[in-house]
């Protein structure tokens, strides 16, 4: 991700609120439908700046923002490719870095719904675990109920039919175990 672009977008939405959001909406919708690497990267960067820039918005504005962003994020994450996986992992991690999880509950709820609306095989499920790990790692101890929900999902899928998914589950459990022991 190119930090100047993210910080520029963040500053735009931090300083001007949602004034420019109507200009961005059609572009975000169009980018979310594309599986092209450049479109996905651009979408990830704009969304990161938008979410970071909305930090001090009121509840109503933030709620309206997530009514729009949640389907966009679902669409984009269901089209993740090998080339864009790192971009989305970084984007979600950056969105949630040093943020109050109560202000980002829409993001986390959307991410936790991911397995229920995606049918794409092992790559998308493993990608979801990678992206989720980035967002949750930034929150650490602040989201125990979400971590419990994730733990329940992981336990139910320890014998998943895809090795790729089992490997990601194992990495997730290992990192969680190491964090508790150290």
Question: Which pLDDT tens digit goes with each residue over 115-127?
Answer: 665 666 788 888 8
User: Contact 77/128 with Cβ under 8 angstroms?
Assistant: yes
Count structural domains, the chain.
Answer: 1
Alpha carbon of 34 to those of 15, 30, 67, 151: distances in Å? 29, 7, 20, 32
Average of per-residue pLDDT values in the chain? 87
Provide the pLDDT for residue 58. Answer: 94
Question: Which pLDDT tens digit goes with each residue over 88-109?
Answer: 999 999 999 999 999 999 999 9
CA distance 77 to 171: 21
Provide the pLDDT for residue 178. Answer: 53
The answer to pTM > 0.85 is yes
For residue 133, the enclosing domain spans 3-181
| Model confidence band, residue 17 (pLDDT cutoffs 50, 70, 90) | very high
CA distance 103 to 113: 18
User: Contact 77/125 with Cβ under 8 angstroms?
Assistant: no
Question: Which pLDDT tens digit goes with each residue over 129-175?
Answer: 899 888 888 887 788 888 888 888 888 888 887 888 888 888 776 55
């Amino acid at each position: 991700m190119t930090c100047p672009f993210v910080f520029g977008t963040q500053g735009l939405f931090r300083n001007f609120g949602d004034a420019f959001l109507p200009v961005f909406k059609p572009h975000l919708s169009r980018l979310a439908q594309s599986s092209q690497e450049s479109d996905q990267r651009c979408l990830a960067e704009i969304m990161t700046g938008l979410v970071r820039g909305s930090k001090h918005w009121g509840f109503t504005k933030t709620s309206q923002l997530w009514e729009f962003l949640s389907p966009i994020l679902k669409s984009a994450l269901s089209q993740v490719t090998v080339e864009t996986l790192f971009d989305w992992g970084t984007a979600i991690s950056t969105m949630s870095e040093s943020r109050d999880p109560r202000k980002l509950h829409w993001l986390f709820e959307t991410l936790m719904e991911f397995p229920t609306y995606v049918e794409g095989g092992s790559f998308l499920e493993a990608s979801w675990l990678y992206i989720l790990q980035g967002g949750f790692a930034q929150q650490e101890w602040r989201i125990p109920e979400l971590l419990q929900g994730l733990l329940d999902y992981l336990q139910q899928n320890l014998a998943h039919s895809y090795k790729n998914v089992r490997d990601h589950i194992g990495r997730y459990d290992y990192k969680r175990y190491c964090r508790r022991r150290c």
